[in-house]
């Protein structure tokens, strides 16, 4: 499920009405399902910590890409702002951009309303936006190959892109500290997951165990990996259900001062405080 509003609706339904018989396994994105929880959305009627977490897939850390022709505007606020397209405003690239504006004075403006990442890519090709982020190797390679985009920063180091500086390297001695840095880590779900698989609350332990083992074994299967590479890119990894649960739990335990700062920053940059149901 790629659309944020649809994910909240589906999560509400799975949590409250779906039978925990192991026959229903939903797939969610961090930004679309955990993001609304981190922001305290009133639309949320679910708790992922009560779900049966089967496992997750990580497609790789995000790289922030910027239009080459827009680079001269990024650090010059006398010029039109560099526009970044956003689906949920909760992703790592959103966090890097906003905190780059706070720490480095980046001249940016968020463009909202895109229903999916594919629409973001089309918007960049049409010239509607100047910047976006992705962790998918095929997408990154596609836009770098044409020369219109250049890499600005990677969420963390990526061995497949050794020449791209990490976000912390870009920040340098202006890297935020204390509550501000915790807010950055919280914003993009720094301790959370990419795409995770879950069953309804009260799924029997023996069924969940079978699903978790099957998930791990499938992730090692050569035929599956060959097929999945076409969609996920060659850098994806599978993460066990136990580890995924710990990541989700960590991403949802947010101190009050961090939560308050995030809300203030969202208001400052004109970003929605809560998810909107469709």
Model confidence at 5: pLDDT above 80:
no
Model confidence at 207: pLDDT above 50:
yes
Model confidence at 273: pLDDT above 80:
no
Strand order in 195-199's β-sheet? 26-29, 195-199, 52-58, 237-240
Contact 251, 38 (CB under 8 A): yes
Q: What is the pLDDT of residues 81-94, one digit of tens each?
A: 999 999 888 888 99
Claim to verify: residue 116 and residue 30 sit in the same structural domain: no
100: domain CATH number is 3.40.190.10
Q: Which tokens hold the place of 252?
A: 């949802």
Q: Note whether residue 259 is domain-resident.
A: no
Q: Note whether residue 118 is domain-resident.
A: yes
Q: Note whether residue 113 is domain-resident.
A: yes
Model confidence at 149: pLDDT above 60:
yes
Quote the pLDDT of residue 240: 93
- d(C-alpha 90, C-alpha 216), whole Å: 28
pTM value is 0.74
Q: Which tokens hold the place of 106?
A: 């980046």
Model confidence at 156: pLDDT above 90:
no
CA 115 to chain centre: 14
Q: Note whether residue 261 is domain-resident.
A: no
Task: Among 1-5, 167-171, 246-250, name the one with the lowest average pLDDT.
Answer: 1-5
Claim to verify: residue 144 and residue 92 sit in the same structural domain: yes
- d(C-alpha 148, C-alpha 158), whole Å: 21
Q: Note whether residue 199 is domain-resident.
A: yes
Domain extent at residue 118 = 63-188
Claim to verify: residue 76 and residue 54 sit in the same structural domain: no
Q: Note whether residue 152 is domain-resident.
A: yes
Q: Note whether residue 258 is domain-resident.
A: no
pLDDT band, very low/low/confident/very high, at 75 (cuts 50, 70, 90)? very high
Claim to verify: residue 110 and residue 14 sit in the same structural domain: no
pLDDT band, very low/low/confident/very high, at 277 (cuts 50, 70, 90)? very low
Per-chain mean pLDDT for the chain: 90
Quote the pLDDT of residue 278: 30
Contact 156, 188 (CB under 8 A): no
247 Cβ contact list (under 8 Å, min separation 6):
56, 191, 192, 193, 239
Contact 259, 273 (CB under 8 A): no
Claim to verify: residue 130 and residue 176 sit in the same structural domain: yes
Q: Choose from 97-111, 125-139, 232-246 the range with maximum mean pLDDT.
A: 97-111
pLDDT band, very low/low/confident/very high, at 189 (cuts 50, 70, 90)? low
pLDDT band, very low/low/confident/very high, at 275 (cuts 50, 70, 90)? very low
Quote the pLDDT of residue 276: 40
Claim to verify: residue 182 and residue 201 sit in the same structural domain: no
Quote the pLDDT of residue 233: 67
């Amino acid at each position: 499920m790629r659309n944020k509003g649809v994910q909240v609706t589906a999560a509400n339904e799975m949590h409250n009405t779906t039978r925990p018989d192991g026959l229903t396994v939903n797939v969610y994105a961090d930004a679309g399902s955990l993001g609304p929880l981190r922001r305290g959305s009133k639309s949320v009627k679910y708790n992922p910590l009560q779900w049966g977490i089967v496992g997750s897939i990580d497609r790789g850390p995000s790289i922030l890409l910027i239009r080459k022709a827009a680079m001269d505007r990024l650090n010059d606020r006398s010029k039109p702002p560099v526009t970044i397209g956003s689906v949920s405003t909760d992703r790592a690239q959103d966090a890097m951009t906003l905190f780059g504006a706070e720490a480095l004075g980046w001249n940016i403006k968020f463009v909202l309303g895109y229903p999916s990442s594919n629409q973001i890519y089309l918007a960049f090709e049409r010239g509607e936006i100047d910047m976006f982020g992705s962790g998918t190797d095929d997408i990154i390679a596609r836009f770098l190959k044409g020369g219109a985009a250049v890499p600005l920063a990677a969420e963390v180091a990526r061995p497949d892109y050794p020449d791209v500086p990490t976000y912390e390297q870009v920040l340098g001695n202006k890297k935020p500290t204390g509550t501000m840095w915790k807010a950055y880590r919280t914003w993009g779900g720094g301790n959370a997951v990419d795409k995770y698989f879950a069953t309804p609350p009260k799924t029997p332990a023996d069924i969940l165990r079978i699903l978790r083992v099957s998930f791990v074994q499938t992730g090692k299967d050569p035929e599956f990996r060959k097929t999945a590479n076409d969609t996920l890119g060659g850098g994806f990894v599978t993460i066990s259900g136990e580890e995924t649960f710990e990541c989700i739990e960590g991403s949802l335990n947010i101190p009050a001062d961090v939560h308050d700062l995030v809300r203030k920053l969202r208001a400052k940059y004109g970003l929605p405080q809560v998810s909107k149901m469709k």
